[in-house]
């Protein structure tokens, strides 16, 4: 290519000079923005951010996670705010332990990093009910996330509480704190059309409400192209380097709030991962196109402790992120991205203060050049062809670009980094068997009670919706009825249609079958041949949720649980959907909290038997292993249920649900060191199916 041709192909884009200043009434660092970047204390900033969610790890882990992110070249820690964690009951707040958001933000500040606070307060995030507290469901006249006064009142109350809490601790950058960005709402554009005329006014209201809180830092809306000024619209997804059309104003910077580092795992969804090369390619391309803020979602995924997962999501969250579930560095991902950050930061001055030029280098090849009047120059040479390498000519020199790669030239001459070339060695997770719990005399068990219609006090002549009945106080809802069978033929067929998620069917106290949906298809049907007594029969159907839905319009209208029940015998077929039903929320062991040490004696435990009955609680006491290790509880021998250690739930497990390759979606479950005592630890397991606790072990997790 001749020099004259190169000049003709250049297109120049000047740096936008309009600066949007966010008013602040207190002293601190002024945070503003223009069409090139965020501006902090008068300085344009090129920032790399890492999503680390405070409730998905423990306070004892926060410092280490943030420190490792900083070592990886991260400038900002980004987190959602979890409304249902902080306000589980209307007006009753919790900011303790893993919910201590102030402590988390101060930990970020102590490491010299900035913070990005995504208040939402709807967050999705594969978190139970998208972060909304279920008590909202019972607010009269409420419609979530639209121009609905009842919803807006509660959303504003919570948003204001969080903002005022941050202000009271001087945590906004305008006060000298680390918070430089806040987010209101979350990916609303994806559902806005469903609300018709109630959608756009809600967007305008949310933006105005947030800005009026006067945080002194900018607000953003992700996946909301019409975000009203001065709110910044941002990109979410894997390919924002290609797909983002840019902000809706030339005076706003290009921000990428979610660059997915892998995929979360969900039962029924085939496990996938994402390479370090692909992540780096999209980041480099986004920066080349004018991006100056990139957040990795997740940088550390962590653990969905307790019942915090959304529907069908595994307890382990984004384990393949740059920092794995246990907090270990995952290589080559973290190392490759660290080198990418260093290469891009070496181009900071031309990117932030230069003029951008674009140059066609081929059919699917492009050069992005940033040049200052001083002559300082940086270039990004891009090959978007994912099938072959290409040699391009740039500034009279040839450069080979691998498939789907970007070469970074901080001086427009020398390549210091190519996104497709990994120069970091892999590491591997090492699992060492620690303490085995394979001696039957160590275990005790309690078989939960299967209620009959006569045992219940809640009655209805229709099938009740699961979530509205349990109010998310339990995964479990018993549907019971008494069935009169008048025939010498004892055989019949029980047919149940369920809107999700799991069903265990009992006839006269005996389990006759189970069924379940999955992440891709929630609804399912159970048809089982049953044996009936001549006369009265007790039918007890246990409906089970595996987290509540976290996305979609009109979340308050979502329905789970049984939809139709029929019994077919030799004489007739009876639809029992409008029969007299008795209901019980939760299991007896839950109600008595037998997973807690002080209330474990509320039931009569017996010595372990090998019968492996369904709906059985198991408990064992043990001494801790070596200190300062990371532990995973191997539950490969179990079926489905929940686990507590010293009264703290490490989450749901479902080892019997297999991938198409025949492997459990998750076998090891994270046990934080802070959950353990040196002596006399109490492990309690609720097993729904017929798993055996004799195969459980507490293993040591490390990397090599």
Catalytic positions = 187, 258
Locate tokens 């601790």: which residue?
169
Looking from the CA of 29 toward its CB, the CA atoms found within 13 Å total: 20
Measured between alpha carbons, how far is 355 from 366 in angstroms, rounded to an integer?
A: 16
Encoded tokens for 560: 């789970």
User: 301: which DSSP letter?
Assistant: -
HEC readout, 529-572: EEECCCEEEEEEEEEECCCECCCCCCHHHCCCCEEEEEEEECCC
Q: Decide: 688 and 544 in contact? Cβ < 8 Å.
A: yes
HEC readout, 179-245: EEEEEECCCHHHCHHHHHHHHHHHHHHHHHHHHCCCCCCCEEEECCCCCCCCCEEEEECCCHHHHCC
**For the chain, how are helix, strand and coil distributed in percent, rounded to 5?**
25, 35, 45
Chain centroid, CA 293 distance in Å:
21
The alpha carbon dihedral of 630, 635, 640, 641 has a sign of negative
User: 353: which DSSP letter?
Assistant: H
The radius of gyration of the chain's CA atoms, rounded to the nearest angstrom, is 28
Measured between alpha carbons, how far is 531 from 509 in angstroms, rounded to an integer?
A: 12
- Which residues of 332-465 form beta strands (DSSP E)? 355-360, 365-371, 377-383, 390-394, 397-401, 405-409, 417-418, 429-436, 444-447, 458-460
The closest alpha carbon to 115, from 86, 74, 72, belongs to 74
Encoded tokens for 308: 């915090």
Q: Decide: 57 and 302 in contact? Cβ < 8 Å.
A: yes
Phi-psi region of 615 (alpha: psi -120 to 50; beta: other; left: phi over 0): left
Could you tell me the CA-to-CA distances from 47 to 77, 238, 344, 422 in Å, in that order? Answer: 10, 18, 10, 22
Number of H helices, E strands in the chain: 12, 40
Measured between alpha carbons, how far is 155 from 165 in angstroms, rounded to an integer?
A: 15
Measured between alpha carbons, how far is 268 from 289 in angstroms, rounded to an integer?
A: 37
Looking at the DSSP assignment, which residues form a beta bridge with residue 668? 634
Measured between alpha carbons, how far is 33 from 41 in angstroms, rounded to an integer?
A: 11
Phi-psi region of 152 (alpha: psi -120 to 50; beta: other; left: phi over 0): alpha
Instruction: Taking each helix axis as running N to C, give the angle between helix 101-110 and helix 59-71, from 0 to 180 degrees, rounded to the nearest 10.
Output: 30
Locate tokens 């390498």: which residue?
389
Measured between alpha carbons, how far is 53 from 301 in angstroms, rounded to an integer?
A: 7
């Amino acid at each position: 290519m001749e020099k004259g041709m190169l000049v003709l192909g250049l297109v120049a884009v000047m740096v936008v000079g309009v600066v949007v200043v966010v008013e602040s009434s207190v002293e601190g660092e002024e945070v503003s923005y223009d069409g090139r970047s965020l501006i902090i204390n008068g300085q344009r900033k090129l920032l790399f951010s890492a999503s680390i969610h405070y409730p998905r790890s423990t306070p004892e882990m926060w410092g280490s996670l943030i420190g490792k992110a900083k070592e990886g070249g991260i400038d900002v820690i980004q987190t959602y705010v979890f409304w249902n964690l902080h306000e589980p009951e209307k007006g009753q707040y919790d900011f303790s332990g893993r919910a201590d958001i102030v402590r988390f933000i101060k930990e970020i500040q102590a490491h010299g990093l900035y913070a990005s606070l995504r208040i939402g307060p709807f967050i999705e995030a594969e978190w139970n009910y998208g972060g909304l507290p279920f008590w909202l469901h019972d607010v009269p006249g409420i419609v979530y996330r639209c121009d609905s006064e009842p919803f807006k009142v509660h959303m504003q109350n919570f948003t204001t509480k969080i903002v005022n809490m941050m202000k009271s601790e001087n945590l906004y950058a305008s006060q000298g704190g680390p918070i430089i960005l806040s987010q209101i709402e979350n990916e609303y554009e994806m559902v806005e059309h469903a609300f018709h005329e109630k959608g756009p006014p809600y967007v305008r209201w949310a933006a105005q409400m947030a800005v009026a809180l006067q945080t002194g830092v900018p607000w953003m809306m992700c996946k909301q192209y019409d975000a009203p000024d001065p709110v910044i619209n941002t990109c979410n997804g894997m390919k924002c380097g290609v797909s983002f059309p840019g902000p809706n104003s030339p005076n706003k910077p290009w921000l990428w709030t979610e660059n997915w580092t892998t995929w979360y795992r969900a039962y029924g969804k085939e496990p996938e991962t994402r390479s370090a090369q692909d992540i780096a390619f999209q980041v480099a391309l986004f920066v080349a196109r004018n991006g100056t803020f990139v957040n990795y979602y997740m940088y550390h995924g962590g653990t969905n402790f307790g019942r915090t997962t959304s529907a069908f999501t595994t307890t382990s969250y984004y384990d393949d992120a740059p920092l794995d579930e246990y907090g270990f560095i995952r290589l080559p991902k973290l190392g490759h991205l660290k080198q990418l950050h260093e290469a891009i930061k070496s181009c900071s001055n031309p990117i932030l203060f230069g003029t951008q030029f674009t140059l066609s280098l081929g059919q699917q090849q492009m050069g992005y050049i940033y040049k200052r009047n001083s002559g300082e120059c940086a270039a990004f040479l891009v090959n978007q062809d994912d099938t072959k390498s290409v040699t391009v000519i740039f500034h009279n020199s040839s450069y080979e670009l691998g498939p789907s790669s970007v070469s970074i030239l901080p001086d427009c001459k020398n390549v210091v980094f190519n996104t497709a070339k990994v120069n970091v060695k892999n590491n591997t997770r090492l699992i060492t068997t620690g303490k085995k719990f394979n001696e039957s005399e160590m275990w005790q068990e309690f078989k939960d009670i299967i209620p009959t219609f006569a045992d219940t006090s809640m009655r209805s002549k229709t099938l009740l919706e699961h979530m509205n009945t349990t109010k998310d106080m339990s995964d479990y809802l018993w549907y019971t009825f008494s069935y009169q069978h008048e025939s010498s033929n004892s055989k019949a067929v029980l047919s149940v249609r369920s809107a999700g998620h799991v069903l265990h069917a009992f006839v006269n106290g005996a389990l006759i079958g189970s069924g379940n949906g999955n992440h891709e298809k929630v609804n399912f049907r159970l048809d089982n041949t049953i044996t009936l007594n001549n006369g009265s029969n007790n039918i007890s159907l246990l409906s089970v949720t595996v987290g509540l839905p976290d996305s979609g319009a009109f979340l308050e209208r979502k329905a789970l649980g049984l939809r139709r029940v029929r019994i077919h015998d030799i004489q007739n077929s009876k639809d029992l959907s409008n029969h007299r039903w008795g209901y019980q929320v939760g299991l007896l062991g839950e109600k008595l909290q037998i997973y807690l040490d002080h209330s474990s004696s509320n039931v009569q435990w017996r010595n372990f038997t090998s019968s492996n009955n369904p709906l059985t609680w198991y408990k064992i006491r043990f001494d801790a292993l070596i200190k300062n290790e990371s532990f995973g509880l191997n539950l490969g021998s179990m079926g489905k249920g929940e686990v507590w250690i010293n009264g703290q739930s490490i989450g749901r497990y479902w080892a019997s649900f297999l991938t198409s390759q025949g492997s459990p979606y998750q076998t090891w479950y994270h046990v934080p060191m802070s959950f353990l005592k040196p002596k006399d630890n109490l492990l309690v397991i609720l097993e729904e199916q017929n798993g055996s606790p004799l195969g459980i072990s507490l293993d040591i997790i490390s990397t090599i």
